[in-house]
């Protein structure tokens, strides 16, 4: 039966291919893939059975979708690539069936059979989701995604919502399906039908013999005209949801589709505002979950119960769990079992907690990742646990010596975010990895990446096999080092106390070293022998105590990234121009005896911060910086000739990010000529301003005003910027009232106001900020009310406010907070 179905769909595809060959040769790839699958079935590599039949049903469904689009002349390159990808993924999962065609096991978990005694800290999430996305919000069928890494409580949260009395009362039809990586679309449809269609209208054998199209029609028929609530738990990203969505009737009856997954899905639309990102538990909630787990079922009673006197020690141990519910529960179960055996005292048990079982559970999360992201995942082991990382640092290190496809590094970063490997921090400028995932990245990198961690305590046992990546953790003791296998190292990272005393010969052994990172190390002196690292491409020296750069750095002809920012008053010799491969140069508060000769760095893409004097020194040659995209200029004051500055910047074709910084207690010059920089998309002005420029670059999308201390309300001018999407005002205005007139800020999505110490009133006119999605207000101590107009801003979904206790209570209790807004107001 499977062979006949495959043969039939291949014939249909072949006919279509012959008819459209002149305009669409990509169909040939799809046909080739299908023929290979047919050969697998014919060669008995896969035996005919329920599992194989289900996969074949999905293949036929995908191919039929493509043929249908082609008939309507809607099949483009993107659709062919998607169809080819889906067929390839189904083929891979078919191969996993094995030689005996083993039947798949449904892993559907009934929400009623799952123990919910260990639920902690989800009350606010449940209330918010119900209010803003499940019960509240648009009456049109909406898809909501609960997203996060493995073990964050996605399923638990979805189950709490699914079983909530309000949901049970509101939705006539409810269904829950938990998926697995080998789950098929046909099995998904059958599971849903079994829950929403009366049993007297179908049998199990009848459903198994129906094709996907008939199953969709049956499901759609019984959902039509009813308000339904469907949960797809742990949805695999390869599921062909385009076909599934045809089974869900459209309408304005308020139906909901709730997904839980570690990733978003390219073939299902979920608005950014309808994604609920799971957050780690705070210390208080972590402790409550731990106690609830360890005392589960009253197994620990009397003298076995966890003693209150060890609460502090227990909380210190839980810090290693980093708020991950999965880890907290595993630790609690482990301790309870060991205590019941009576083998040790509580102190000994807490000191010997093993996270091995948690890491094994997280293995499944690792194996779900796109294979292209595995190297990037493992490279997170280079950095300190729970540290926050800049996006540019991650991608630059990957480019320097971790991944082969350097042009895809930005997409890898977005991939790690999308797959919940790293969490966005600090308003989207920095990223962080969960401590347990970091532990897993070390474990994987040691096995697969040639990674090792050494400590300068004399107890190291360096690996006898070649190592390619190394982290050295230093203390205040003397740095003891070994040159064992140094010639194979590609990257070297130093963490710890900053004591660094090596002989010149130490660096000569690193023949292949491409990455050297000493950021936050406390380093005072950089050895002259650093210039022997001829293959070095990344040198990270940010946030140290370095007073002078050695002249030998000029020998690093392959260096692409030099980061010496946040080293106060570093003496930079006349060497920068010699490193002609530099692409990214980070400076701040440097002392230059001679001009930097920036015009010699023809491949430069990033330069922050350079003094205005250094920049304007070689004006004629600066036109050669054709690749420069991001530039930071510092040292602007009333005597600065910004006319020459802006004229020179206007010649830079790719410059779209500019930061201008003045002195702390001096006013910046008049910036009226900024408007000639027509290509700018991001602008940051940091320093005192007597007034805003009369005109700003017209295509600005991101604008930051920091420490501007303007006397005049900036809103009337800023609201006229037609493309402005993100606006941040920090200590930017000293007045008491800001006013946005009618229809101002037509595209603004994010508004952040910080440290406006005198602000008492904000007025928003009719139709102003109509696209605003997120409003943040921090440390504006006299702003005790919000603009009445925010109630009518349809797209506003999130309000964050940090203010006084009294103002926080007043705003929480006001009628200005719409039911659809996620409000986080804290004193």
Q: Give the model's confidence band at 103: pLDDT under 50 very low, under 70 low, under 90 confident, else very high.
A: very low
Report residue 377 as tokens: 């995942």
Please determine, for residue 785, whether its predicted confidence score (pLDDT) is greater than 50.
Answer: yes
What is d(CA 300, CA 406) in angstroms, rounded to the nearest whole number? 54
CA distances from 238 to 87, 257, 631, 634, 777 (A): 10, 18, 41, 49, 40
CA–CA separation, 435 and 423 (whole Å): 12
pLDDT for 194-233, tens place per residue?
A: 999 988 888 888 898 898 999 999 999 999 999 999 999 9
248-262, 549-563, 573-587: lowest mean pLDDT where? 248-262
- In whole numbers, what is the pLDDT of the chain averaged over residues? 86
Q: Residue 506's pLDDT is what?
A: 80
Transcribe 145-196 into DSSP letters: EEE-STTSSHHHHHHHHHT-HHHHHH-SEEEEEE--TT--HHHHHHHHHHHH
Report percent pLDDT > 90 for the chain. 51
pLDDT score of 109 more than 50 = no
| The pLDDT of residue 484 | 56
Q: What is the DSSP letter of 704?
A: E
Confidence bin at 110 (pLDDT 50/70/90):
very low
Helices (H), 449-520: 505-508
Report which listed range, 1-15, 172-186, 774-788, is most confident: 774-788
Please compute, for residue 578, the number of CA atoms within 13 A of its CA located in the half-sphere on the CB side: 12
pLDDT of residue 105: 39
- Looking at per-residue pLDDT, the higher value among 637 and 32 belongs to 637
Q: Are strands 657-662 and 682-686 parallel, antiparallel or unpaired?
A: parallel
CB atoms within 10 A of CB 341: 7
Phi-psi region of 383 (alpha: psi -120 to 50; beta: other; left: phi over 0): beta
Under 8 Å between Cβ of 174 and 168? yes
For residue range 481-503, list pLDDT tens digits in order.
Answer: 665 557 889 999 999 876 666 67
- 425 Cβ neighbours under 8 A, 6+ residues apart: 388, 431, 432
Mean pLDDT, residues 582-607: 92
Rounded to an integer, what distance in angstroms lies between the CA atom of residue 221 and that of residue 213? 12
Q: Flag whether pLDDT at 455 surpasses 60.
A: yes
pLDDT value at position 97? 64
Beta strands in 285-382 (DSSP E): none
Summarize pLDDT for 46-84 with one digit per residue, the tens. Answer: 665 667 788 888 888 888 777 776 666 555 555 666 777
Q: How confident is the model at residue 107 (pLDDT cuts 50, 70, 90)?
A: very low
What letter does residue 306 receive in the DSSP assignment?
Answer: P
pLDDT at 502: 67
Measured CA to CA, the distance from residue 332 to residue 296 in angstroms comes to 9
331, 291 in Cβ contact below 8 A?
no
At 41 the pLDDT is 78
Q: What is the pLDDT of residue 657?
A: 97
The Cα diameter of the chain in Å comes to: 89
Lookup: tokens for 528: 């002259």
Alpha-carbon span 573 to 592, nearest angstrom = 6
Residues 619 and 615: their CA atoms lie apart, in Å, by: 7
pLDDT at 817 over 90: no
Q: How confident is the model at residue 459 (pLDDT cuts 50, 70, 90)?
A: low
Q: How far apart are CA 543 and CA 389, in angstroms?
A: 13
pLDDT at 102: 42
More confident residue, 177 or 522: 177
Q: What pLDDT was estimated at residue 309?
A: 86
* Cβ atoms < 10 Å from Cβ of 319: 12
Chain segment 709-764, per-residue pLDDT in tens: 999 999 999 999 999 999 999 999 999 999 999 899 999 999 999 999 999 999 99
* Highest mean pLDDT (candidates 134-148, 232-246, 399-413): 134-148
**Strand duo 422-425 + 430-433: pairing:** antiparallel
Nearest residue to 177 via CA among 161, 191, 197: 191
Q: How confident is the model at residue 21 (pLDDT cuts 50, 70, 90)?
A: low
Contact between 62 and 81 (Cβ < 8 Å): no
pLDDT value of position 40: 80
Among 278-292, 438-452, 791-805, the range scoring the smallest mean pLDDT is 791-805
- Are 560 and 538 in contact by the 8 Å Cβ rule? The answer is yes
Contacts of 244 (CB under 8 A, 6+ apart): 185, 188, 189, 216
pLDDT of residue 570: 93
pLDDT of 438 above 60 = yes
**Model pLDDT for residues 414-434, shown as the tens digit of each residue:** 999 999 999 988 766 799 999
| Cα 553 to chain centroid, rounded | 35
Average pLDDT value for residue range 599-617:
90
pLDDT at residue 346, rounded to an integer: 83
pLDDT score at 469: 94
Q: Which of 5-9, 341-345, 449-453 has the lowest mean pLDDT?
A: 341-345
Q: Which range among 190-199, 276-285, 498-507 shows the weakest confidence by mean pLDDT?
A: 498-507
Say if residues 498 and 519 touch (Cβ distance below 8 Å).
Answer: no
In this predicted structure, the answer to whether residue 654 has a pLDDT above a threshold of 50 is yes
Closest C-alpha among 357, 359, 341, 339 to residue 349: 339
Give the helix/strand (H/E) hosting 229: strand 228-233
Q: What is the percentage of the chain residues whose pLDDT exceeds 70?
A: 88
pLDDT number for residue 22: 44
Residue 467 to residues 379, 402, 443, 511, 512, Cα–Cα distance (Å): 14, 14, 14, 13, 12
Q: Cα 284 to the chain's mean position, in Å?
A: 26
Tell me the pLDDT band of 271, cut-offs 50, 70 and 90. confident
Of 322-326, 446-450, 638-642, 809-813, least confident by mean pLDDT is 809-813
Strands 388-390 and 430-433: antiparallel
Q: Which residue has the higher pLDDT, 499 or 643?
A: 643
For residue 412, the number of C-alpha atoms closer than 13 Å in the C-beta half-sphere is 26
Query: Residue 111: its pLDDT value, please?
Result: 35
Classify residue 424 by its DSSP letter. E
Residue-level pLDDT at 568: 86
pLDDT at 98: 53
* pLDDT band per the 50, 70, 90 thresholds, residue 112: very low
**Bridge partners, 752 (sequence order):** 728, 776
């Amino acid at each position: 039966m499977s062979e006949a179905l495959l043969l039939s769909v291949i014939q249909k595809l072949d006919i279509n291919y012959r008819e459209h060959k002149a305009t669409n040769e990509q169909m040939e790839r799809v046909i080739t893939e299908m023929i290979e699958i047919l050969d697998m079935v014919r060669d008995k590599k896969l035996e005919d059975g329920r599992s194989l039949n289900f996969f074949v049903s999905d293949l036929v469904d995908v191919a039929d979708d493509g043929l249908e689009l082609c008939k309507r002349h809607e099949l483009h390159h993107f659709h062919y690539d998607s169809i080819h990808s889906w067929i390839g993924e189904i083929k891979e999962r078919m191969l996993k069936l094995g030689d005996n065609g083993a039947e798949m096991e449904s892993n559907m978990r009934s929400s009623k059979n799952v123990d919910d005694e260990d639920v902690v800290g989800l009350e606010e999430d449940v209330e918010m989701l119900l209010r803003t996305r499940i019960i509240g919000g648009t009456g049109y069928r909406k898809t909501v995604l609960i997203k996060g890494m493995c073990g964050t409580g996605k399923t638990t949260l979805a189950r709490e919502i699914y079983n909530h009395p309000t949901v049970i009362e509101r939705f006539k039809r409810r269904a829950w399906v938990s998926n697995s990586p080998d789950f098929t679309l046909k099995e998904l449809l059958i599971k849903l039908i079994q829950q929403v269609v009366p049993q007297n209208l179908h049998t199990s054998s009848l459903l198994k013999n129906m094709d996907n199209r008939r199953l969709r029609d049956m499901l759609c028929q019984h959902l039509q005209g009813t308000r339904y609530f469907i949960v797809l738990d742990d949805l695999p990203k390869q599921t062909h949801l385009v076909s599934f969505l045809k089974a869900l009737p459209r309408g304005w009856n308020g139906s909901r589709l709730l997904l839980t997954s570690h990733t978003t899905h390219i073939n299902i639309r979920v608005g950014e505002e309808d994604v609920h990102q799971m957050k780690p538990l705070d210390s208080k909630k972590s402790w409550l979950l731990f106690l609830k787990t360890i005392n589960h079922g009253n197994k620990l009673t009397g003298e076995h119960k966890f003693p209150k006197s060890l609460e502090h020690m227990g909380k210190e141990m839980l810090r290693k769990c980093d708020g991950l519910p999965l880890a907290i529960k595993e630790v609690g179960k482990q301790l309870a079992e060991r205590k019941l055996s009576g083998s040790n005292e509580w102190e000994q048990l807490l000191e010997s907690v093993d996270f091995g079982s948690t890491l094994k559970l997280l293995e499944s999360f690792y194996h779900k990742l796109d294979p292209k992201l595995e190297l990037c995942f493992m490279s997170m082991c280079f950095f300190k646990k729970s540290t926050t990382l800049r996006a540019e640092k991650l991608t630059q290190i990957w480019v320097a010596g971790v991944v082969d496809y350097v042009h895809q590094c930005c997409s890898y970063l977005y991939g790690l975010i999308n797959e919940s490997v790293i969490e966005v921090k600090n308003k989207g400028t920095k990223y962080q990895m969960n401590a347990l995932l970091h532990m897993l990245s070390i474990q994987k990198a040691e096995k697969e990446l040639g990674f090792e961690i050494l400590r300068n305590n004399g107890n190291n046992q360096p690996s006898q096999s070649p190592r390619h990546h190394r982290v050295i953790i230093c203390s205040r003791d003397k740095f003891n080092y070994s040159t064992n296998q140094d010639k194979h190292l590609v990257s070297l990272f130093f963490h710890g106390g900053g004591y660094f005393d090596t002989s010149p010969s130490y660096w000569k052994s690193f023949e292949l070293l491409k990455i050297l990172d000493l950021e936050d190390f406390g380093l005072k002196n950089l050895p002259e022998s650093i210039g022997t690292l001829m293959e070095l491409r990344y040198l990270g020296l940010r946030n140290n105590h370095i007073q002078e750069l050695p002249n030998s750095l000029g020998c690093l002809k392959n260096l692409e990234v030099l980061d010496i920012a946040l080293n106060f008053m570093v003496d930079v010799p006349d060497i920068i121009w010699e490193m002609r491969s530099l692409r990214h140069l980070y400076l701040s508060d440097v002392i230059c005896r001679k001009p930097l000769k920036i015009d010699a760095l023809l491949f430069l893409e990033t330069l922050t911060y350079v003094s205005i004097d250094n920049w304007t020194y070689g004006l004629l040659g600066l036109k050669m910086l054709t690749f420069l995209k991001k530039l930071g200029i510092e040292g602007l004051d009333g005597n600065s000739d910004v006319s020459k500055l802006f004229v020179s910047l206007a010649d830079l074709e790719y410059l779209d990010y500019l930061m201008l910084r003045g002195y702390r207690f001096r006013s910046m010059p008049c910036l009226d000529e900024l408007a000639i920089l027509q290509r700018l998309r991001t602008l940051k002005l940091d320093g005192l301003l007597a007034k805003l420029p009369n005109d700003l670059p017209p295509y600005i999308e991101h604008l930051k005003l920091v420490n501007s201390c303007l006397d005049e309300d900036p809103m009337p001018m800023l609201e006229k910027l037609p493309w402005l999407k993100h606006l941040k005002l920090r200590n930017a205005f000293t007045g008491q009232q800001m006013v946005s007139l009618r229809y101002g800020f037509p595209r603004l999505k994010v508004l952040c106001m910080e440290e406006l110490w005198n602000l008492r009133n904000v007025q928003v006119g009719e139709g102003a900020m109509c696209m605003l999605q997120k409003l943040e207000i921090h440390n504006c101590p006299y702003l005790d009310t919000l603009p009445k107009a925010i109630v009518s801003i349809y797209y506003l979904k999130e309000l964050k406010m940090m203010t006084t206790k009294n103002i926080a209570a007043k705003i929480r209790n006001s009628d200005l907070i719409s039911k659809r807004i996620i409000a986080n107001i804290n004193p």
